[in-house]
Chain A
Amino acid sequence: MRKFSIKQDDRPIEPTMEQIQRNQDFSKLYHDYERLTKRGKKPIYRDPKLYLLMVLIGIIALLLFFEG
């Protein structure tokens, strides 16, 4: 919820050039974007459960191949 109040001093509510320049940083934005969108994409070898499952499927496939 926003509330208004009358400003007591005469300073205008405008960002200075210094404030603008200090906050303008595309590389940080790009890095944050990458971090947000790429999160959760762990490589298979870093997920022990998934890794074990893949190995198990591999062994079963190999056994079935040799059985045949």
Chain B
Amino acid sequence: MNSQRKHIKQLSEPEIIELAKTDQKYFGELYNSYFKRIFRFVFKRLGGNEEVANDITQQTFIKAMANIAKYEDRGLPFSSWLFRIAQNEVSMFFRSQKNGYTVEIEDWRMKDLCTEGNILGYMTQEDQEKLVGILNEMEQEHLDLIELRFFQEMSFKEISEIYNITEANAKMRVYRILEKLKNKWTASL
């Protein structure tokens, strides 16, 4: 067992992925490498719900394990494939919550969003609540991008890898949503 672990440690990630395609036990190495990042991602997207975050993270890795044979290295990090699965799982969870699921966000993140979107320089608590109300009326797909960029602090490159689009396209999508948000904010004044 120890010699097997030593052997795995000497392998590169693409080699471990290839071995995991035929023997699921090798998947454990990938699980241990990426668990923390995926769990953290899901945990934050759920606003800190540990129990659900664990279920969704488990589901993400089960799906990854079941589909690893279909995984193709297209020059993107392996993590982007895992994040894409996790992203879908979180979206499915949100859709399943018919009575709504509330995600708590820190107020400074709203301030960051306003600064980057050029919406408002100084925000009172009332402004923040009003803006959250506008956000809540937006399409879920748009909120996903807002979340990744501002609440998960992902770079445009990381977002582009999850969505399998170019970095410029990711940037354009985020700024279009911010523009929409700004228009709605202005209309509400």
Chain A residues with CB under 8 Å of chain B are 1-7, 12-15, 19-20, 23-24, 26, 28-30, 32-33, 36-37
Interface check B102, CB cutoff 8 A: yes
Main secondary structure of the interface of B (DSSP, over half): helix
Residues 35-79 of chain B, each 1 if its beta carbon lies under 8 Å from chain A, else 0: 110011001100110100110011001100110000000000000
B97 x A37 contact (CB < 8 A): no
A29 x B103 contact (CB < 8 A): no
Contacts of A7 in B (CB 8 A): 47, 104-107
Contacts of B98 in A (CB 8 A): 1
Nearest CB on B from A60, distance (A): 40
Nearest CB on B from A24, distance (A): 5
Contacts of A37 in B (CB 8 A): 66
What is the total of A-B residue contacts with beta carbons within 8 Å? 101
Contacts of B44 in A (CB 8 A): 13-14
B35 x A20 contact (CB < 8 A): yes
B28 x A26 contact (CB < 8 A): yes
B24 x A13 contact (CB < 8 A): no
Closest to B49 in A: A13
Contacts of A13 in B (CB 8 A): 43-44, 47-48, 104-106
Instruction: Mark out the residues of chain B between 23 and 41 whose CB falls within 8 Å of any chain A CB in the assembled complex.
Output: 24-25, 27-28, 31-32, 35-36, 39-40
B31 x A26 contact (CB < 8 A): yes
Contacts of B97 in A (CB 8 A): 1-2
Of the residues A6, A20, A32, contact of B129 by C-beta under 8 Å: A6
Given contacts A12-B106, A23-B50, A30-B28, contact A3 B136 (CB under 8 A): yes
